[in-house]
Structure 1
Amino acid sequence: MNFRTIILIGGVGIVLHGCTSIDRFNSDSVKNFTSPQELIVQKNINAANGRAKEYVYSWGAKQSNKEPQSLYPRKHLNSYCSAKGGKFSVLHKSSMSLVKNQWDKKLLSTYSSVKQGIGAYKCVQSDGQSWIVSIEPVAERKLDDGSDARMVALQTKIMTALDAQKFYSSANSSNTPAAKKTTANNQTAKNTPSKTTTPKEVEVKKEAKEAEAKKETKPTPPLPVKQSASVVETPQQQQLKYYVSARRDLNKGTNQVAACNNAQRAYNFGKLHGSNAANVYAESGVLVARCLTSVPSYSSRFSNSKGQAVKILQNLTNNHNHAGAKHMLRQIK
């Protein structure tokens, strides 16, 4: 084996090492997915457990010509939106509030390969439906292979407009310089003694403190601190929760708009893996169709609510052979 062959093999190894398997970013590769959540799951945009997944955002000086992987989540969702005839645009900018290490946050903010692929994006499809996806960095590290490549962990989530507004309003307000300055000023004011205090008042306070110190008081034992366990729900659990809530409220005839929103959330997850996931997806679709045809306060948001309901029911009928969807489709027609 000559020296040229060794160099060639080594170069191929570097290219393949640490890469994520990503299809071409075109409409044909994503057009068959029924929802953006199904795309996220099937394309493994998040980790297998639904949490943040690591992507290379900088390959280092020796491999600077390689495309950064950190733009993949945004490109996949953008391609899906285009496949639906939609427009994909930035809704909220990211302040990287989930990155706890300040040095990591500062480093990530200097790379366009990170900043151009994070934040909240909104897609308005040609059929009138819309959805919002949030792509947020969680952590940063150097790749453990001796190279200069660096990784960023990205969490991709489908959000409602209300959830996105709450998250990004809270995140941005806590990171603004004005908020930090106000907090610092308030803390300084608390720690600074009043200049208007007279010498007599100071003496009285001093005597009171000395008298208090002489009293024998029994120390109060500290109360035990309860540790709250953080439970992370899987996409299947979230989908089921939204579906159950929507079905309950619709059957009762209460909170109908909120119920329809929950039904839409469950349906947007798409067909997930699991023994009961396909049924939950289909039943959620029937609820959405029901909202589009019989809940005026919800259906009035859409220009062709009946047509959208028919599309959902036809999809469930043709691809899932759902009896309830067939029955409802006959009633509408």
Structure 2
Amino acid sequence: MNFRTLILIGGVGIALHGCTSIDSFNSDSVKNFTSPQELIVQKNINAVNGRAKEYVYSWGAKQSNKEIQSLYPRKYLNSYCSAKGGKFSLLHKSSMSLVKNQWDKKLLSTYSSVKQGIGAYKCVQSDGQSWIVSIEPVSERKLDDGSGTRMVALQTKIMTAGDAQKFYSSANSSNNSAAKKTTVNNQTAKNTASKAVTPKEVEVKKEVETKKETKPTPELPVKRSVQVVETPQQQQLKYYVAARRDLNSGKNQIAACNNAQRAYNYGKLQGTEGTKVYTESGMVVARCLTSVPSYSSRFANSKAQAVKILQNLANNYNHAGAKNMLRQIK
């Protein structure tokens, strides 16, 4: 047996001894301790120097039947509380703020063997005394022996109610800020990676941007309002309708007569309504020359002009109204 083999056997023996001593731990074996702090020290719940102590929280696939050690600190203190006739309950949930490595924290948060044994617990004893213990993970690692065993370092500490409130309030606040910062950093890293380009791409991009800057901006065509061009027939009809409307209403008689004159001046236009609009416009003009003083006074011989228009309509278009009006004038 060489020295290396001897060391290996010794290490296994120590590990087995630790498991055996923990398994035999019960309420009767702790009831004689005067305080939870004495229990922590005497049972080596922390490391010898008072710092965090490592416990197995996962034995790996090949040793999954073994008992998990990461719940032992809580089990110790719960047993002591029960031995004092007390009630042991969770006071503050752990945010694992002492775990600095975010990936370690993320991994530990997936194991119930860790989450169920950490946080701040309060014990109210039957004699009225109460105390608070904080059990917090500090770090995590995997053993190098190929077994897949993973260890978590737990710090167990007695706290006052004020200290516990202050620590866990601050821890939760810091943890939220750290989580946001990590998210932002991860997103920034992704964006940086996605934006990374080769020198050639930079050169091509620069050249394209230069071309964009020097390329003259094409002039936009001037948007012109669309004007609807009316046909002569439409214009003639518009003037005639306006003249009849205003003259019949007794308003704007001069404007009405002017519109009638404009419509009549177009002459006979082609179209089904061309003749009618022309002849009826002439009748309105004749009426203006004989019955609208404000309009007829503008002409030296308004009656003669009216007769001339009526004769044209009667002779050339056989207009009955024109013939009747001629008889009235004579």
Scaled by the length of structure 1, what TM-score is found? Answer: 0.49
Structure ranking higher on relative contact order (CA contacts 8 Å, 6+ apart): 1
- The structure with more radius of gyration: 2
Q: TM-score with structure 2 length normalisation? A: 0.49
